[in-house]
Structure formats: C-alpha cells, structure tokens
Amino acid sequence: MGIYQNRGVVLRRRPQGELVDGDLELVDLPIPELGDGDILVEVHWLSLDPYMRPRLNDLKGYAEPVGIGDVIVGESVGRVVESKSDNYRVGDFVTCYSGWQKYFVARDSDESIHRIVDSEIPLQAYLGAAGMPGRTAYGGLMHLGKPKAGETVVVSAASGAVGSVVGQLAKELGCRAVGIAGGDAKCRYVTDELGFDECIDYKSGNLLENLKAACPKGIDVYYENVGGDVTKAVAQLLNPGARVPVCGFVSAYNEKDLQQIETPFHILGALENPPEHRFFLVSEWDDQHAETTQKLAGKVKDGSLKYRETIAEGLENAEDAFKGMLKGKNFGKQLVKVKLD
C-alpha cells in the first residue's frame, strides 16, 4: 500500500495507575495487502472513551485486554479509499473499530462496521450523540432505567457524551432531569443549553445536601457513569423501586488495582433495599443499531439533541487528550481529528 503511510499508537507496557510517558508510543505501522472482501479505511475522526482505560490492564473483562505492541482500541469514522468488496465502494463513509491509527484494513463481513447513510450532520457526530455514546445513553436509559413521566432521573458525568444524551432523553419523556458534573461551567451548560432541571457541581462540596434539594421526591432512576462518592450520595436518596443502569465508573479507572476498589455494585448491594441495578454493554442492543442511530441522528439534525465536543488535532496529541479525559478535563465528547488535510 505504498501511496498510504500508516501511523498508530500502540501499547508498550501496562500502566500502573495513571498513564505515564512510555506506556503508549506513536509508531509507523504497515498496511496489509487487501484480499477479496477487504476495504481500506482512511480514518478521519477517532473517538476517545473511558472504557479504553481498563482495556489497557491485564485483566479479563467483557473484552480482551489490549496486547503489548497492539494498537489501542477505539472507534472511528473514516472513508473507504480502496475496496475489494461488493458491499462498500470507494468514497463510502463508515464507522469502524480501527483503533488509534490512520489507516485500517477491514473485512466487509465485520459486523462492527456500519455505513453512514445520512451525511447531513457532522461526520464526528456518529462517534458522539448519534454514535456509540448516544446509543449507550438510549439503551441504558430506555431498556434498564425505564423512566416514566414525572419521575426523577439523575445522571453523573452529565456534560459528557453519554450523560448529556441521557438527560435530554429523560426530559423528552416528561421526567425531572438532574445532572451531576464537575465545575460551574459544565453545570451551567447542562441546565442552560441541554435543558436539565438542575445540575449539581460535585466539586463544590455538600453533594448530598445539594442532591436532596434538587431531588425533593427522591431518585427513581440513576444512570451511573462515575462511581465513588457520587454513588454513595445518590444511594441515600433512591426511592423504593429505583433502577440503576451501570454504564461505568470512571472515577476508578486510573486505580492501580481495579479488583480492590469499591464499585457501585458494592455500594448499591450493601443497601437495606438494593435497587434494580446491573452493568450493561451497548452491544446488548446491536439488533437495534441502525434504528437507534437513525433516531438519534434525526434529533441531531433537527436540533433537539444538543452536544459539545473537545477536539485534539493529530494522533500525536491523542495520548494527552486521553489522559485529560480520564480526569474530566474535556467538555463533552472527546475526539481526535486524525485527518488534518
């Protein structure tokens, strides 16, 4: 593939807590020759998401850990630049799990590749509000949270790619939407632009008292993204019959030993009357991928689903952006613009 020069970020050693220099490395990578049924995707946008951090540990989980020397896992939007497939043509835009690299050879039979059918919204939105985070928000809220009009829905990391969609969907259903976010600017965005009823700044102190004031009728649905002290505060206000979809608990992802931490399952399970709660994966609703994507893209298109992005330019800046995201330094969806010309 001589006309294309590939570069990517690989795992050099497993992080011990927070990532440090030398854990990841940007290197030149080969591009395999295409066989029948293969396509070559030029990556335009890369998604950075919290789930990537546990995948760097040598722990068995819902997915295999990234191997030493392997490209860091990640979803992207790209353009098909060469094709030996009857299903994809040169010029098609797709979402795929290319990982952190500029070019990616994929089999057309890979079920994680999806053609983008509506290009009237920004391509990168298919990595955010109209993409995996949006579908994660939709699936967890609708299928596990099952909110009803008049109920109170609380979501942590409310200004992020998943939480922002959760709150907006809850409002559409006639619920009271209360967000939890870090910092006054993020909280103002959640209420003033996204339309949540309230947003609590967990960094300002008095989290439990502020939550009580924002949720006078208690909490019926808690969409879990953070864990830790936030979960402990929410747990005290859960109503009988409450539902807690557990998307993740990013506050613990930089810990050296994830097997020793106190998870939301410990906190919720210790309650006298534990709420209905479980961890979930967006892939549970893969059969609804196209339908849900189309629904969310339509909302982005008509302006009823709002979002914000933080963009790093170039793969060489992906690692710093990833470190910052894990500490909440991003505002909204964290992306890397891979194709700069």
pLDDT at 50 over 90: no
Burial of 244 (0-12, 13-18, 19+ CB in 10 A): buried
Q: Percentage of the chain surpassing pLDDT 90?
A: 86
Q: Percentage of the chain surpassing pLDDT 70?
A: 96
Instruction: State if pTM tops 0.75.
Output: yes
> Which of 185, 244, 181, 240 shows the shortest CA–CA distance to 214?
181
pLDDT of residue 276: 95
Residue 206: pLDDT band (50, 70, 90) is very high
**Model confidence over 238-265: pLDDT tens digits?**
999 999 999 988 665 665 555 667 888 8
The structural domains of the chain, ordered by start, are: 6-128+308-337 (3.90.180.10), 132-283 (3.40.50.720)
pLDDT of residue 260: 64
pLDDT of residue 118: 75
Residue 195 is classified by DSSP as -
Q: What is the DSSP string of 219-240?
A: EEEEEBSS-HHHHHHHHTTEEE
Strands (E) in 36-92, as ranges, are 38-47, 76-83
pLDDT of residue 256: 58
**Model confidence over 79-99: pLDDT tens digits?**
999 999 999 999 999 999 999
> Which of 142, 65, 76 shows the shortest CA–CA distance to 104?
76
pLDDT of residue 119: 73
pLDDT of residue 262: 83
**Model confidence over 51-80: pLDDT tens digits?**
899 899 987 776 789 999 999 999 999 999
**Paired tokens of 157:** 């990391």
Q: Of 35-39, 115-119, 130-134, 303-307, where does mean pLDDT reach its minimum? A: 115-119
pLDDT of residue 64: 87
pLDDT of residue 59: 78
- Work out the mean pLDDT of the chain and round it to a whole number: 94
**Model confidence over 118-149: pLDDT tens digits?**
778 999 999 999 999 999 999 999 999 999 99
* Top-confidence residue, 117 or 66: 66
pLDDT at 225 over 70: yes
